[in-house]
Chain A
Amino acid sequence: MTLKLTPNIADPDDFYDALLAAHEGLDKAQSDALNARLILVLANHIGDRETLFEALQTARARARD
């Protein structure tokens, strides 16, 4: 496992605040688009195939119906 799943953000409240602030005033469609752009930007920053696929699996594991 190359994906980090232990705490890695120095100031979690500050980040979470910034995440919500980035969506402020946007409607659902605009927010969806922002999220998509954010995922692409972060994915490119990570780059490493193994890490990306582990991240996809980790996120997907919670999608139970």
Chain B
Amino acid sequence: MVDVRYDIAFKLYPYTRVPAQDAAAVRHPVVIVGGGPIGMALALDLGQKGTPVLVLDDHEGVGQGSRAICFAKRTLEIADRLGAGQPMVDKGVVWNVGKVFHGDDKVFEFNLQPEPGHKRPAFINLQQPYFEKFLVEAIRAAQEQGAPIEIRGRNAVTGLTQHADHVALDVDTPDGRYQVEADWLVACDGARSPVRDMMGLSFEGRVFEDNFLIADVKMTAEFPTERWFWFEPPFKDSGQSALLHKQPDDIWRIDFQLGWDIDRQAELDPVKIRARVDAMLGEGAEYALEWTSIYTFQCRRMKKFRHGNVLFAGDSAHQVSPFGARGANSGIQDIDNLGWKLDLVVKGLAPDGLLDSYSAERVHGADENILNSTRATDFLTPKTEISAIFRNAVLDLARDHAFARPLVNSGRLSVPCVYDDMPLNGTDGLAGPEMTRPGAPCVDAPLRQGHLLDRLPGQFTVLALNTEAPEISDVGGVSIGTVSLMTDQDDPTGALAQRYLGACGAAVYLIRPDQHVAARWAQCDAEAIRSAVDLALTRGAGG
């Protein structure tokens, strides 16, 4: 039987018996273990590209509890590419202003409002169950259009044998066990990844001995839609730091840092939680406890994210502290990176060595996230007397002096990573802006109609600005799209020129299917594009 480990918020893929349960093991090109946000986003990406994918999840829907609530612009852009972004933005709460307090006093406030000319806001707050539900709804819509995606609920992977050319899985269901085979297995099964354990793989890293209490409360309060963060909060028993942040449906995320030496059971007593929340919100505040949880966290990653025909993505591969919203957001960047590579390998259009670049690029991303979140944690929870002295000195100075405010670290909010110096990067033949150098994710810009990123779907695209694009529609079976834009007609705000040309008059960019820049030139011919595509696919010359 399959253990039910948590309650379901939305029952989206109820168990149904399938004929494969009574037959010999069926081979699938791609099997994804874990139907969380990362697994579902990958399934959607692969299915839309026409690669058949089977998702095995040990539950029948989305677990309860808001969990990840902060979704970054890059995540929304990826969701847009997958056709799931709009409902997220419609439902989500947009916020820009953050306030930082130390005790009773406001230290300073910041406004995240990004430079104008982006379709999506810097962040939305949205409960994770909604994020997952919108992905599954997009999968259902894609299935109706013929996308070869199958989700099997209450199918728990209990055994795994790795062979040279496939992975054999034992799958437990309410009707007993059966076998599934996969050419490629992707483990999106979370921080405690059973797949990782079954393969005897582990990882090393820092464990933080600190406990955080989440209380999501439902109330119709007058608080503005802002992120409020307290160092050494003034309210009774609130711990060393606290956070107040709004979600949709009149839900507020309250987060208390409790310290390491606590009695978990006692702290989870609703009476005790209410006492803390009362002290924070003030006497007489009316609210209902929606969801509570105590968590500790770790900053660590696997040494590599590819082990032969098994790939790891999201929390199964790496974990960070929650400060900075780098958990779910980095997992979505993982599958953005993995989706097109796996698709082309399955279709025989790229060698499987391309998947090593998934590991290299996303290990680089994970290291950046771990570095940032470790630094934030060191600021939030000073480990020595002197680090506490410096932390408080920064907060003291930040009240009066602008120079100290950039030193205040309550979490450096997630921004996408640039794949600098990675093997897939081609020529940088343009004295263009830093922000769009090879390896960087394309920066959005408003066009005469719509936005740039909407014109860069999940395939290689040649973006020609103020010049004729070389004529090329295919490199060794991989199709190449073309977008030609003239800044005197298509660039109403000047953002396109500023972000892609700088001081240059014209440019040709080769954009990868995940909207990262592969190479760029002032001028180039079809041969240059062909070489850059081959390089980005790790195909030898002439591919």
Q: Give residues in A with beta carbon < 8 Å to B.
A: 32-33, 36-37, 39-41, 44
Contacts and interface: CB of A to CB of B under 8 A. Distances in A.
Contacts of B403: 41, 44
B381 interface: no
Contacts of A36: 389-390, 392-393
Interface string B386-424: 100110111011000101100100000000000000000
B404 A33 contact: no
Residue from A39, A40, A41, A44 whose CB has the most chain B CB atoms within 10 Å: A40
A44 B396 contact: no
A44 B404 contact: yes
A37 B400 CA distance: 12
B394 A40 contact: yes
Given A40-B397, A41-B397, A33 B407 contact: no
A39 B389 CA distance: 12
A41 B59 CA distance: 55
A32 B385 CA distance: 10
Contacts of A39: 390, 393
Q: Does more than half of chain A's interface fall in helix, strand or loop, or is it mixed?
A: helix
Given A40-B393, A40-B394, 11 more contacts: A32-B389, A33-B389, A36-B389, A37-B396, A37-B397, A39-B393, A40-B390, A40-B407, A41-B397, A41-B401, A44-B404
A44 B397 CA distance: 12
Contacts of B393: 33, 36-37, 39-40
Nearest to A36: B393
Interface string B342-383: 000000000000000000000000000000000000000000
A36 B386 CA distance: 9
Contacts of B390: 36, 39-40
Interface string B496-533: 00000000000000000000000000000000000000
Contacts of B404: 40, 44
A39 B403 CA distance: 13
Contacts of A33: 389, 392-393, 396
A17 B404 CA distance: 27
B391 to A, nearest CB: 9
Nearest to B398: A40
6 contacts: A33-B396, A36-B393, A37-B393, A40-B393, A40-B394, A40-B404
Nearest to B407: A40
Nearest to B394: A40
A37 B396 CA distance: 8
Nearest to A41: B397
Contacts of B396: 33, 37
A39 B401 CA distance: 14
A44 B406 CA distance: 11
Q: Which 4 A-B pairs have the closest CB atoms?
A: A36-B393, A44-B403, A37-B393, A36-B389
B393 to A, nearest CB: 4
A40 B398 CA distance: 11
B107 to A, nearest CB: 14
A39 B387 CA distance: 13
A41 B392 CA distance: 14
A46 B475 CA distance: 53
Nearest to B402: A44
Nearest to B393: A36
Contacts of B407: 40
A37 B393 CA distance: 5
Nearest to B391: A36
A40 B400 CA distance: 13
A19 B407 CA distance: 25
B540 to A, nearest CB: 42
Nearest to A45: B403
A40 B397 CA distance: 9
A37 B397 CA distance: 7
B408 to A, nearest CB: 11
A40 B403 CA distance: 9
A39 B397 CA distance: 11
Contacts of A40: 390, 393-394, 397, 404, 407
